[in-house]
């Protein structure tokens, strides 16, 4: 073999080898997400939204829009301030209510005052049901993942909505057509009573669970409470001028907080493995008071998560996404 032919052989071998490796590891498409959050009393919603922005930066997620299900008047302004800090002033935000608003959060007002926001209060927001319907109507079929990390009032309103100028489909038909999966932080497994399910609107929990006809995965209270994030590791890896840093500082000065909401995000974007095990052997049944039980038989749609990886490994992953160090930058 002449040296030119030898060089050509080496080049082609390397080239096709490279093609082969790339063909074997196709990049997964970004998960198209609608986040439904009660950005108010607890701070894990802030951590959850920070994770979504980190995933978006890595092209693992696409935030279609956010529904703020809260009566804290600064919850939407705070949500928009966080989005803008991450460079997104164009993420649609819908609200569950625009009157009888209160101010009780330890951080929403401060974050919306310290950082640029397109909202003064939730009264400036568009109706959550209309935003939900618009976001779903324009997406391809069976493509959207809904993540709920608050109570289920807005999701129930979407499911009961009728055809309108946005879509000829009813809310339940729109969901059935456009949604792929629901990742829900809610409930306690195998049984218990958890706030998103029982406070303030257990009727919506019962309605959503009995009328949801697609796969749903529950991240229950018992797994989130094992994974404490937003503590000293997060603090030392975060930029002090970040609204995520400042919200955790305002909430409890980096004493750390359970990651209930973050686990629903982690599952929605990275899947069940390597962090979780999904239990498919039953159905989540909710009582009138919002308490829940895992009962046989399976309805073929419900699953609840258990931790598979050590809690400390999951904490590291979540803290790095929340601080931005997972993206190689603070």
If one asks whether residue 266 binds Ca ion (CB under 5 A), the answer comes out as no
If one asks whether residue 36 binds Ca ion (CB under 5 A), the answer comes out as no
Q: Which residues contact 25 (CB under 8 A, 6 or more apart)?
A: none
Among 40, 45, 201, 319, binds Ca ion (CB under 5 A): 45
Stretch that binds Ca ion, among 32-40, 97-105, 163-171, 227-235 (CB under 5 A): 32-40
**Between 38 and 194, whose beta carbon lies closer to Ca ion?**
38
How buried is residue 33: exposed, middle or buried, by Cβ count under 10 Å (0-12/13-18/19+)? Answer: buried
**Between 38 and 222, whose beta carbon lies closer to Ca ion?**
38
**Between 36 and 166, whose beta carbon lies closer to Ca ion?**
36
Bridge-partner residues for 192, per DSSP? 292
- What whole-number distance in Å separates Cα of residue 170 and Cα of residue 163? 5
**Between 61 and 184, whose beta carbon lies closer to Ca ion?**
184
If one asks whether residue 244 binds Ca ion (CB under 5 A), the answer comes out as no
Stretch that binds Ca ion, among 43-51, 101-109, 138-146, 302-310 (CB under 5 A): 43-51
265 close to 271: Cβ distance less than 8 angstroms: no
Q: What is the DSSP letter of 254?
A: T
**Between 76 and 166, whose beta carbon lies closer to Ca ion?**
76
Q: Strands, E, within the chain: which ranges?
A: 31-37, 61-68, 93-95, 126-127, 144-148, 179-185, 191-193, 216-219, 228-229, 257-258, 276-279, 283-286, 291-295, 302-307
Q: Which residues contact 89 (CB under 8 A, 6 or more apart)?
A: 80, 83, 118
75 close to 43: Cβ distance less than 8 angstroms: no
**Between 44 and 319, whose beta carbon lies closer to Ca ion?**
44
If one asks whether residue 227 binds Ca ion (CB under 5 A), the answer comes out as no
Among 65, 125, 128, 150, binds Ca ion (CB under 5 A): 150
Stretch that binds Ca ion, among 174-182, 238-246, 258-266, 320-328 (CB under 5 A): 258-266
Q: Read off the tokens for 269.
A: 């974007």
Among 34, 43, 95, 149, binds Ca ion (CB under 5 A): 149
Nearest Cα residue to 148 out of 71, 209, 101: 209
* Shortest Å, Cβ 176 to Ca ion: 26
* Shortest Å, Cβ 147 to Ca ion: 11
3-state secondary structure of 3: helix
**Between 178 and 267, whose beta carbon lies closer to Ca ion?**
267
* Shortest Å, Cβ 274 to Ca ion: 25
Q: Site residues (CB under 5 A) for Ca ion?
A: 38, 45, 149-150, 261
């Amino acid at each position: 073999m002449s040296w030119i032919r030898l060089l050509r052989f080496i080049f082609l071998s390397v080239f096709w080898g490279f093609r082969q490796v790339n063909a074997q590891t196709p990049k997964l498409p970004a998960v198209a997400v609608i986040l439904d959050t009660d950005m108010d009393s607890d701070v894990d919603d802030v951590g959850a939204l920070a994770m979504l922005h980190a995933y978006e930066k890595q092209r693992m997620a696409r935030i279609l829009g956010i529904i703020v299900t809260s009566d804290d008047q600064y919850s939407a302004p705070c949500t928009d301030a966080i989005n803008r800090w991450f460079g997104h002033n164009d993420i649609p935000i819908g609200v569950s209510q625009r009157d009888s608003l209160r101010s009780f959060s330890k951080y929403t007002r401060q974050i919306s005052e310290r950082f640029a926001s397109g909202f003064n209060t939730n009264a400036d927001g568009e109706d959550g049901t209309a935003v939900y319907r618009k976001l779903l109507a324009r997406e391809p079929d069976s493509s959207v993942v809904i993540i709920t990390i608050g109570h289920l009032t807005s999701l129930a309103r979407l499911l009961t909505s009728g055809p309108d100028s946005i879509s000829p489909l009813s809310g339940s038909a729109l969901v059935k057509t456009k949604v792929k999966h629901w990742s829900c932080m809610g409930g306690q497994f195998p049984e218990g009573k958890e706030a998103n399910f029982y406070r303030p609107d257990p009727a919506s929990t019962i309605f959503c669970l009995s009328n949801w006809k697609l796969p749903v995965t529950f991240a229950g209270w018992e797994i989130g409470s094992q994974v404490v994030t937003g503590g000293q590791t997060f603090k030392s890896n975060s930029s002090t001028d970040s609204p995520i840093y400042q919200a955790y500082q305002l909430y409890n000065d980096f004493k750390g907080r359970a990651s209930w909401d973050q686990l629903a995000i982690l599952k929605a974007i990275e899947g069940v493995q390597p962090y979780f095990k999904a239990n498919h052997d039953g159905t989540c049944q909710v009582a009138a008071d919002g308490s829940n039980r895992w009962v046989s038989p399976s309805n073929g749609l419900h699953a609840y998560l258990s931790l598979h990886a050590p809690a400390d490994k999951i904490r590291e992953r979540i803290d790095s996404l929340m601080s931005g160090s997972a993206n190689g930058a603070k």
